Amino acid sequence: MKKELKLSVIIVNYNVKYFLELCLSSVYRSIRTLAGEYYPFCAEIWVVDNNSSDGSVKMVQDKFPEVRIIANTENKGFSFANNQAIDQTEAEYILLLNPDTVVSEDSFAKMLRFMDHHQDAGALGIKMIDGKGNFLPESKRGLPTPEVAFYKVTGLSALFPKTRQFGRYHLGFLNRDKNHEVAVLSGAAMLLRRPAIIISGSLDNDYFMYGEDIDLSYRITKAGFKNYYFSETSIIHYKGESTKKSSINYVFVFYKAMIIFARKHFAPQNANLFAFLINIAVYLRAGAAVFARLIKILALPLVDAVVMYGAMVVLVSYWEHTIKYVHGGKYPPELLNIFIPIYIVCWIMGLFLAKGYQKPYFGRKIINGALWGGLFISFFYAFLDERYRYSRAIIVLGSILAVVVFSFNRFIVRIIKSRNHIIAGSNGTKKIAICGYAEDAERILSLLDKSEIKFNYVGLILPDESIKGNAVGVISEIEKLIRIYQIDEIIFCARNMPYQAIIEKMSALNKSSVIFKIVPDGSDFIIGSNSKNDHGDYYTLHDEIFLIDKIESRLNKRGFDIAASMILLFTFPVNLWFVKNVKNYFKNIFKVLSGSATWVGYSHSQENLPVIRKGILCCGDELKTDDLDIKTLRRLDYLYAKDYSIYKDLSIIISGFAKLGKF
């Protein structure tokens, strides 16, 4: 006898392979619990891939062969992809699920039980938390009428989230820990009853992304069914609404979808009023977003400029009265009024190029920025009329002072910001604890060692209090352990730990500053996200990480090549005494400036390393010996690519200075 299909889980994926694997791992566990309550093989899983380029389809085929896959060659949007699977399934219930979610073992059983007992329910939403354990308000929403939508886009709903007047978009006045009948559910996790879909219709393909869940929720209620928010189980939704809410693109795309909804479902006069109000609010919101972003971008550079100018005034005054004009006289006012501001702009430009305004703010970036700024000033200084060449010493001392000032400013920023929210230690080192068993910890530590992150391992937290082992504590003590050891990140091992327990702990610890990550069963990656506005990150053993292949490193290397070439060009009268082949010395300078070569490269061609320009020097030149075999040179090349820094290039150039005229 053919068994009735109880549930179809439909996941639309686009380039989030690792999140998808974690999601499917949790879905399988929840289906096993469901099968125990109903009957075996009562559910199926669909993955609709929208032309991903990250190997998602192959991963599903290899690791989850039972999953039914639709591999699209074109991305026609979220609604279209879901409808492809909806049209082919015959299940009693259909769950639309985002790939960046993690469900509890009991989620499916509890949700279906509720639907079976509430025949008036056409759709069911679920309580969602983000990657830090914070409740996601989009778990339950009200209908975006013109009034409600206006409160949303003007920010009134955010200012007064729990009032019945302004808090109707996210229904903040309803208890998140109780079940409620609501108007709108989130498409990130939306359980649908088949008759409700048949009567109301599938998702509307007019919505490429955003708004399709609002539209479907509304049509389900118009068809005579109810939408319920379900609080008795929780899931993790790493990306919140799958984009950064502060982005201008989100503002326009999301509210354009709301206008489409209004024109479809409201009376013409109401729809026009809605569109008018929304358009005004959107442009106000977009303008505010642009202004806020400019303030955020320019705040620290402006502080750097002001403090640096004050420091330079003190430096010039000191140099003027104690060194330059001991017996009378002073610098012309143009130095402080014109040239010092230009110098400061150069130092700040250098800091921008060195990524000194990107987190973490401390470290070599500041030295690199001051060095580049000093080189810009020196280049500019060389073309000045003799009257305006006030003092090279001020430029050199100013560059040193820039390092001090920029470091001081960032130290103050660190004090102002609470604890580790901006800077995870001056060197970016994290304190990490692993929640699992000893064999799990060994595998995870091996993975972390192969990654680019800096970390201190605090110790093992056991998930089962009955198990004895060499650990810092057990999971029931986790809050105390975080406080004692000042833990920055906890990695949960899902192999012997239920996702339900992980989600519960994340929810309980959501007020802490700890970052949570998960290692799925049988996988060699760690995945997580800090908040709903964060796209998430992961560490994996599958991809060898070479610092030289990072965009920042490539920019730094090219900038260093140009700066070094300019210095070598202008100092050639001195360098000629130390370089062996003068003719090639000049040829090499112009090769590097033109981009056909780099000052430091590999000693041999390397198929297994990131591609870089041909080098004038190589790592072996730092050792001042020609007695190195190929195996040793290849190993040096590997280490150079793995741990690249411009300081390594500088060290090799200094050590191999006489060989700058090679080739």
Q: Is residue 454 part of a domain?
A: yes
Compute the radius of gyration of the chain from its Cα atoms. 30
Mean pLDDT of all residues belonging to the chain: 81
Q: Is residue 260 part of a domain?
A: no
The answer to whether residues 557 and 530 belong to one domain is no
Q: What is the mean pLDDT of residues 324-344?
A: 85
Q: Is 15 exposed, middle or buried (0-12, 13-18, 19+ CB in 10 A)?
A: middle
Each residue of 452-494: pLDDT tens digit? 567 888 889 988 776 666 788 888 888 888 888 888 889 999 8
Q: Is residue 156 part of a domain?
A: no
The answer to whether residues 407 and 437 belong to one domain is no
Tell me which H or E stretch contains 630.
Answer: helix 630-642
Q: What is the mean pLDDT of residues 55-74?
A: 91
Cα 161 to Cα 217: distance, rounded to the nearest angstrom:
22
Is 510:497 a contact under the CB 8 Å cutoff? no
The answer to whether residues 218 and 302 belong to one domain is no
Q: What are phi and psi of 435, to 5 degrees?
A: -100, 105
Q: What is the mean pLDDT of residues 424-447?
A: 76
Confidence check: pLDDT of 127 > 90: yes
Is 617:652 a contact under the CB 8 Å cutoff? yes
pLDDT computed for residue 620 by the predictor: 81
pLDDT computed for residue 427 by the predictor: 46
The answer to whether residues 106 and 11 belong to one domain is yes
Of 500, 518, 540, the residue that ends a domain is 540
* Confidence label for 1 from pLDDT (cuts 50, 70 and 90): very low
pLDDT computed for residue 30 by the predictor: 92
Cα 51 to Cα 649: distance, rounded to the nearest angstrom:
41
The answer to whether residues 518 and 604 belong to one domain is no
Confidence check: pLDDT of 442 > 50: yes
Is 130:240 a contact under the CB 8 Å cutoff? yes
Each residue of 486-524: pLDDT tens digit? 888 899 998 888 999 999 999 988 777 788 999 888 777
Confidence check: pLDDT of 235 > 90: yes
CATH number for 124: 3.90.550.10
Confidence check: pLDDT of 535 > 50: no
Number of folded domains in the chain?
A: 4
Each residue of 635-659: pLDDT tens digit? 788 888 877 887 788 888 888 888 8
* Confidence label for 243 from pLDDT (cuts 50, 70 and 90): very low
Of 540, 568, 584, the residue that ends a domain is 540
pLDDT computed for residue 53 by the predictor: 75
The answer to whether residues 238 and 196 belong to one domain is yes
Q: Evaluate the CA torsion angle 422, 424, 426, 427 in order and state its sign.
A: negative
* Confidence label for 66 from pLDDT (cuts 50, 70 and 90): very high
State what percent of residues in the chain have pLDDT above 90.
22
pLDDT computed for residue 242 by the predictor: 41
pLDDT computed for residue 2 by the predictor: 44
CB atoms within 10 A of CB 614: 12
pLDDT computed for residue 255 by the predictor: 65
Q: What is the mean pLDDT of residues 206-224?
A: 80
pLDDT computed for residue 415 by the predictor: 65
pLDDT computed for residue 244 by the predictor: 46
The answer to whether residues 635 and 559 belong to one domain is yes
pLDDT computed for residue 269 by the predictor: 63
* Tokens 């006069």 sit on residue: 269
More confident residue, 269 or 292: 292
Q: Is residue 15 part of a domain?
A: yes
SS3 content of the chain, % helix, strand, coil (to 5): 50, 15, 35
Of 391, 416, 441, the residue that ends a domain is 416
Each residue of 578-631: pLDDT tens digit? 888 888 888 888 888 888 889 998 887 665 677 788 888 888 887 766 667 777
The answer to whether residues 479 and 605 belong to one domain is no
Q: Is residue 232 part of a domain?
A: yes
Q: Is residue 410 part of a domain?
A: yes
Q: What is the mean pLDDT of residues 200-228?
A: 82
State what percent of residues in the chain have pLDDT above 70.
81
Each residue of 382-419: pLDDT tens digit? 887 777 788 888 888 988 988 888 888 887 876 665 44
The answer to whether residues 193 and 50 belong to one domain is yes
Q: Evaluate the CA torsion angle 361, 365, 366, 372 in order and state its sign.
A: negative
CATH number for 512: 3.40.50.720
Q: Is residue 106 part of a domain?
A: yes
Nearest CA-CA partner of 557 in 494, 513, 505, 615 = 615
Strands (E), 35-106: 43-50, 68-72, 93-97, 101-103
More confident residue, 1 or 29: 29
pTM: 0.63
Confidence check: pLDDT of 556 > 60: yes
The answer to whether residues 371 and 442 belong to one domain is no
The answer to whether residues 114 and 235 belong to one domain is yes
Sheet (strand 525-528) strand order: 473-474, 455-462, 430-435, 489-493, 515-519, 525-528, 537-540
Q: Give the domain extent around 439.
A: 430-540
